[in-house]
Amino acid sequence: MAPRSPLHWPSRLGAARLNGLVVALGVAAVQLLVTALFGAPAGMVAVGGAVCGSLPDVPNPPHRTWRRVWPAGLLVAGVTLGVGLLRHSPVWMTLLIAAVAFVTLMAMAWGPRAGPLSFAGTLAMVFAMASDAPASPLDAWQHAGWVLLGALLYGSWALATSWALRRRYRELAVATAMRAVAVRLRSRAARVAGTVSEEEAGIRASIRDDAQLAEALQAARDQVFAARFSPHSRTQIALVLKLIDLRDLLLGSRLDLGLLGDDATSRAWRGALARSYEPLAQALDDLANSVTLGAPVPPLSPEHWRTELAARLAAVPCAADDPRQTLVDAMQGRLGHVLDDVVAMAERLLSTPKPGVSRQAPDPPSPWTREQLQLFVSPEGWPLAALRPHLSLQSPVMRHALRGMLAMSTAWLLGLALPWASHPHWLVLSVAVVLRGNLEQTLSRRNERVIGTVIGCLLVLLLARPALQGVLPLVFLLAVGIAHAYVNVRYRVAATAATLMALLQPLLLMPGSGPAVGERLADTVLGAGLAWAFCFVLPSWERRGLTRLSRQLATVLNRHAGNVLRWAPTPEQQLAQRLSRQQAYQVLGALAAAAQRNAVEPLQVRVPETRLEALLTSGYRWMALLGTLQQTLARRADVLDAAQCQPALQATAKACTQAAALAVLGQGLPLQAALAEASALDWPEQGADLNPWVLRRLRLCQDEAQQLADAVLALQGPAG
């Protein structure tokens, strides 16, 4: 194994939880340092700046960390100063809340990476409103200065720990991706065996699993592809590239399964195939432990695995002339490709020297340059050009920014007018964390926020005892780390921790005071209700975006087909294949997420579920066919006949382009006769010749291009 990071502890923490622990330690370090130098009051104010400034500190390479954490510190200080100078005037405060809400929410034009930075401004505003009002402008400047100091000190901590833990974060990202593939293998095995419920066997459940895998793979790309080349990083790059190829193989394993039928023989074949997935999944789990814990690389015997699978399949009673045997052989071969890639990953790990052991053989070079790998990482930076498309009421980002501005301003004014001892800033915070850009996420956040608040209030009642006063600072810091670690993983846990933070901070500032549990519950419920109500103000229903995404899907899949359907692609063309494949998966993921959000919208604006199911099914099948063809052409080109395959590749690429182009233009495609002939074609005869299989896949690829075009046109039609 490769040398360990100097901060390899704790070995069994995932990236999110390790990051949460680092954040809690950083906030504690800021408080201790500022308190020791300037006193306890300054330390408590600086903690607020550190907490707000820590929000963008997520597992990232160092060059990404400073570009997110330092701007957050400046934003937090500026918002704090604005609140300090204007809070004596309800009118000016209302205008400030509206301005902060609008500006921070417009930051979502830069995508998900702007989310923590956006919320940092809102949280700083809430923290500033929760503190004592400054007696003079000078006090407001001083308060903002302490906040800025806390944020900048935390920014230094974040940069230092990001650098120290960069290798550990890469290891965890690779291991997480391996475990995600293992989970996908097991879920695929259950579907092959037919041991899942009808709902879990559907396209939506499969897409959910694919989305989790895609997220893990992208996190691994962002961590590993950003590293400078070294024996250690080259090994990690090779592992991630193999995992990406494994996703294609798993997607291709869906093909032809329905052609086996549902009789006793089919079920026996399915069971035999499904049982062969578990050893592969377990091997990936063991490889993940090798990457993160230094465990021995698991011994893998490809010959034994293949012999066992062949014996299980041969034991299935079937007629000697059963034509489905050919399909079973093909599925067995595709499963063998998965095994080959898992074995290749194990061999690559074994070839990486352990600490203190010199390398006996030269390190295998990476097939891609560092500049080429950067094309696959998530965008970074804050280019102003990203704002231009959203300076219109047609933009969902603009509409959400206006919606959030109105909602938070209303929450503030309502909090001032309530008869009970409410905390207006709590109302503002509840609206800010619950109100999302769409109804589906808002409903989920609303329920989780209320449940988490109830749990947090109960915990505070247990902790608010004189005998436990000494442990409250530790509980507060733990809550900071837990809220940070779970905000995007399990929001109910994050909401519970946030409630602890909100109710414990006054107890720390004023020992002996009682926690405002009743007010917190009332303000949370009211704020969550306000957020839900404002979802219907300037709404951005999914039907508009679904039309755009469907056309985009046809475009990117056509581009990917053109890149894949090449005989003997050059290295540049292979790079284009990988880029278009990533783009196609991204659009499919965006379309699947939009379909999920569409399902909870009002019926009168909802796109029919059947149309979305048809579009997603066709898109994933086309990707599966292209992935299978790409793997076959890459692995078995030496046994294929170029005279047969090359013209067929060109003809298929042309047909796919025609189908996609006319779908984008909103026109039909007159290829029904040829496609009907292709769809009626039986599978090839059993034998070693792969050329008929490739030609069949190409005909099915044309068929799927037509079906996708039909699904795009149907989605753009009137609601049924």
Taking 90 as the threshold, does the pLDDT of residue 222 lie above it?
A: yes
Query: pLDDT tens-digit profile of 344-356?
Result: 999 999 887 665 5
Query: pLDDT tens-digit profile of 329-380?
Result: 888 888 998 999 999 999 999 887 665 555 555 566 677 888 899 999 998 8
User: Using only C-alpha atoms, what is the Rg of the chain?
Assistant: 28
Query: pLDDT tens-digit profile of 621-661?
Result: 999 999 999 988 988 888 888 998 999 999 999 998 888 88
Query: pLDDT tens-digit profile of 472-506?
Result: 888 888 898 898 888 888 899 999 998 888 888 77
Mean pLDDT of 138-149: 95
Integer CA distances (angstroms), 253 to 274, 301, 345, 627, in order: 11, 22, 20, 10
Taking 60 as the threshold, does the pLDDT of residue 682 lie above it?
A: no
Q: What is the pLDDT of residue 286?
A: 95
Residue type, 653: A
Query: pLDDT tens-digit profile of 283-320?
Result: 999 999 999 988 899 888 889 899 999 899 889 888 87
Count of residues for the chain? 720
Taking 50 as the threshold, does the pLDDT of residue 2 lie above it?
A: no
C-alpha span between 482 and 64 (Å, rounded): 22
Mean pLDDT of 176-193: 91
**pTM (two decimals):** 0.88
C-alpha span between 43 and 60 (Å, rounded): 28
Integer CA distances (angstroms), 61 to 169, 223, 293, in order: 8, 6, 21
Taking 60 as the threshold, does the pLDDT of residue 679 lie above it?
A: no
Q: What is the pLDDT of residue 675?
A: 39
pLDDT band at 225 (very low <50, low <70, confident <90, very high): very high
Q: What is the pLDDT of residue 198?
A: 61
Query: pLDDT tens-digit profile of 396-452?
Result: 999 999 999 999 999 999 988 877 655 788 889 999 999 998 998 999 999 999 999
CB-count burial class (<10 Å; 0-12, 13-18, 19+) for 331: buried
| Exposure string over 158-170, b if 16+ CB within 10 A, otherwise e | bbebbeebbbbbb
Query: pLDDT tens-digit profile of 39-71?
Result: 988 998 999 999 999 999 999 999 899 889 999
Q: Is there a contact between 150 and 47 (Cβ–Cβ < 8 Å)?
A: yes
Query: pLDDT tens-digit profile of 397-412?
Result: 999 999 999 999 999 9
Taking 50 as the threshold, does the pLDDT of residue 676 lie above it?
A: no
Q: What is the pLDDT of residue 558?
A: 92
To the nearest whole number, what is the mean pLDDT of the chain? 86
Q: For residue 9, give the H/E element and its range.
A: none
C-alpha span between 239 and 177 (Å, rounded): 10
Q: Collect all residues with Cβ–Cβ distance below 8 Å to 235 and sequence separation of at least 6.
A: 2, 348, 349, 351, 352
- Dump the DSSP string for 537-596: SS---HHHHHHHHHHHHHHHHHHHHHHHS-SS--HHHHHHHHHHHHHHHHHHHHHHHHHH
